[in-house]
């Protein structure tokens, strides 16, 4: 055991796979009662040595069975550290897990950071944050609650303060902190890019399979608060007395709430995500796509992000389907559900661009662009610092129908190709292992502050992207035709 000193007390790290590992280190106090909707409080000092040999509990949630989350508890705000050595000043990479803002944990095996840390000679840190309506709603306007908005964001900010303060005892450099995340974790990273008070806490950002528009205006967020109030009556009493199980039960009733993302000039509706960051005017003062962002940025998507939601939703926490409609009626229903005002325009574009493709392929392409790809690309081109954009083109080996689906990047990033999920997604062929190593080298070099421009152009110059597939290549313009329709419909994003 190696003992380090923190503001809350001594922590015992353990040796694991050529790195020092510290698991389940608390950075905030447990969450009970009204504290569930209030800003986190730093962890009070403990006596003795905190044995950081096992992961902490995840935030209470309805856990997707396939994710392997073993325990949840109110005492869930903890982080994990992997470092090659506690001396020196290495770049730090802070991972934010995904899960639709409703589920997930830093303890999931696919996020184990030892190999990334050892291979790239960086400090890797992952953390838990508040989920669901506790973490991503705005009860601050409800009289008597003395609540705070965006508590999940506040959790991450407190964890980043911890990282910055303790970087020297972890062998890290507080001036080289890269925030990276996938799915909802990437959405959170994109949101934090627009939070003024977060600017000094990290220097670079990697947005993997996320978006920059999964943010609610306060009026939309109020819909969720009002619906909960209509179900439980007295909100003060509810937050004081309700158990976590009761809270999760009520949260499930909110899953069918349709919420308009951002402030697009047409209805672009989000489903099954009642908890999203809120433009509250205090912490989040503007939408990420309207903020002035100036940090080196890496952003990208998998080619067929949405396919897993169509064919195997159980992998992302949904319910498996007995059969999937993939005809003209299903195509129209999908568009009308998310785009009630502009579905005809969007359908015409994809029907023309994909005239030889089936309806399922059109659904996947359109939803991938609508939910993930377009706002990510806009974020990259509006950034006033260097922006690298990638697309992953390595198809799922366990189910070819998924193509290059959501989550395909995770085993590559964390060198988990040999895990159960990795073998299903990426496989362990020599080609897959080479691709993973190459991808991690790019991530590590970016985090260390090395220039990638010689092999990976700045997207802002000519909209060139790096494609990770059987080979790596720089591509220009291939995705831009379908994205142009979103530029025209989401016109506000170019207004400054």
Q: Is residue 493 pLDDT above 70, yes or no? A: no
Q: Of the candidates 488, 211, 174, which has an alpha carbon nearest to the alpha carbon of residue 369?
A: 211
Whether pLDDT at 12 is above 70: yes
Which pLDDT tens digit goes with each residue over 260-280? Answer: 999 999 999 999 999 999 999
Burial 102-122 (b: 16+ CB within 10 A, else e): bbbbbbbebbbbbbbbbbbbb
Banded pLDDT at 496 (limits 50, 70, 90): very low
Q: Which helix (H) or strand (E) holds 475?
A: strand 472-476
Using the predicted structure, report yes or no on whether residue 492 has a pLDDT greater than 80: no
CB 334 within 8 A of CB 370: no
- Full set of structural domains in the chain with CATH: 1-213+273-320+367-496 (3.40.50.1820)
| Torsion angle of the four alpha carbons 104, 178, 288, 185, in this order, in degrees rounded to the nearest 10 | -10
Q: Average per-residue pLDDT in the chain?
A: 96
Q: Residue 41's pLDDT is what?
A: 98
**Ramachandran sector of residue 175 (left: φ over 0; alpha: ψ -120 to 50; beta: rest):** alpha
Q: What's the number of CA atoms in the CB half-sphere (13 Å) around residue 146?
A: 4
Q: Which helix (H) or strand (E) holds 456?
A: none
d(CA 474, CA 458): 11
pLDDT at position 479, please? 87
Q: What is the mean pLDDT of residues 100-123?
A: 98
| Distance of alpha carbon 296 from alpha carbon 449, whole angstroms | 9
244 and 74 Cβ atoms separated by less than 8 Å: yes
* Sign of the torsion formed by the C-alpha atoms of 207, 212, 217 and 223: negative
Q: Return the pLDDT at 112.
A: 98
| 288-315: pLDDT as tens digits | 999 999 999 999 999 999 999 999 999 9
Q: What is the DSSP letter of 417?
A: T
Nearest of 49, 47, 116, 46 to residue 81 by alpha carbon: 116
CA dist 165 → 28, 44, 189, 415 (Å): 14, 16, 20, 28
Which among 217, 211, 289, 262 is positioned nearest to 493, based on CA atoms? 289
């Amino acid at each position: 055991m190696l003992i380090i000193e923190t503001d809350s007390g001594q922590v015992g790290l353990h040796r694991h796979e050529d790195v020092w590992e510290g698991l389940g280190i608390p950075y905030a106090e447990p969450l009970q009662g009204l504290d569930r909707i209030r800003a986190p409080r730093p962890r009070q000092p403990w006596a003795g040595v905190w044995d950081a040999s096992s992961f902490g509990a995840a935030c209470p949630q309805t856990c997707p069975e396939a994710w392997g989350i073993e325990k949840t508890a109110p005492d869930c705000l903890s982080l994990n550290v992997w470092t090659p050595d506690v001396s020196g000043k290495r770049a730090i990479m802070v991972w934010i897990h995904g899960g639709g803002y409703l589920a997930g944990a830093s303890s999931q095996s696919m996020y184990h950071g030892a190999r990334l840390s050892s291979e790239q000679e960086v400090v890797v840190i992952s953390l838990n944050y508040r989920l669901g309506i506790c973490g991503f709603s705005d009860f601050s306007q409800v009289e008597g609650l003395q609540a705070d908005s965006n508590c999940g964001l506040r959790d991450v900010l407190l964890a980043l303060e911890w990282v910055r303060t303790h970087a020297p005892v972890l062998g890290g450099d507080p001036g080289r902190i890269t925030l990276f995340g996938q799915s909802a974790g990437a959405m959170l990273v994109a949101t934090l890019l627009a939070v003024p008070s977060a600017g000094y806490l990290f220097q670079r950002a990697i947005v993997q399979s996320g978006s920059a528009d999964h943010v609610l205006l306060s009026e939309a967020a109020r819909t969720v608060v009002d619906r909960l109030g209509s179900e439980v009556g007295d909100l003060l009493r509810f937050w004081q007395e309700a158990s976590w199980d009761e809270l999760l039960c009520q949260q499930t009733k909110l899953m069918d709430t349709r919420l308009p993302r951002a402030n697009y000039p047409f209805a672009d509706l989000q489903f099954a995500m009642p908890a999203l960051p809120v433009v509250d005017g205090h912490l989040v003062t503007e939408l990420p796509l309207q903020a002035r962002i100036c940090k080196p940025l890496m952003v990208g998507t998998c080619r067929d992000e949405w396919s897993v939601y169509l064919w195997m939703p159980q992998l992302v926490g949904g319910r498996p389907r007995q059969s999937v409609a993939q005809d003209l009626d299903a195509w129209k229903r999908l568009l009308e559900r998310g785009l009630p005002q502009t579905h005809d325009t969007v359908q015409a574009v994809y029907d023309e661009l994909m005239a030889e493709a089936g309806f399922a392929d059109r659904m996947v392409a359109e939803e991938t662009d609508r939910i993930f790809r377009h706002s990510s690309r806009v974020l990259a081109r509006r950034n006033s610092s260097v922006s690298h954009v990638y697309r992953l083109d390595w198809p799922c080996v366990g189910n070819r129908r998924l193509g290059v689906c959501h989550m395909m990047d995770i085993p590559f990033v964390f060198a988990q190709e040999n895990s159960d999920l990795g073998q299903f997604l990426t496989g362990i062929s020599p080609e897959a292992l080479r691709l993973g190593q190459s991808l991690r080298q790019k991530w590590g070099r970016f985090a260390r502050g090395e220039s990638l421009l010689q092999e990976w152009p700045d997207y802002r110059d000519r909209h060139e992207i790096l494609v990770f597939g059987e080979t790596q290549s720089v591509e220009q313009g291939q995705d831009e035709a379908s994205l142009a329709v979103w530029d025209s419909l989401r016109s506000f994003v170019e207004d400054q």
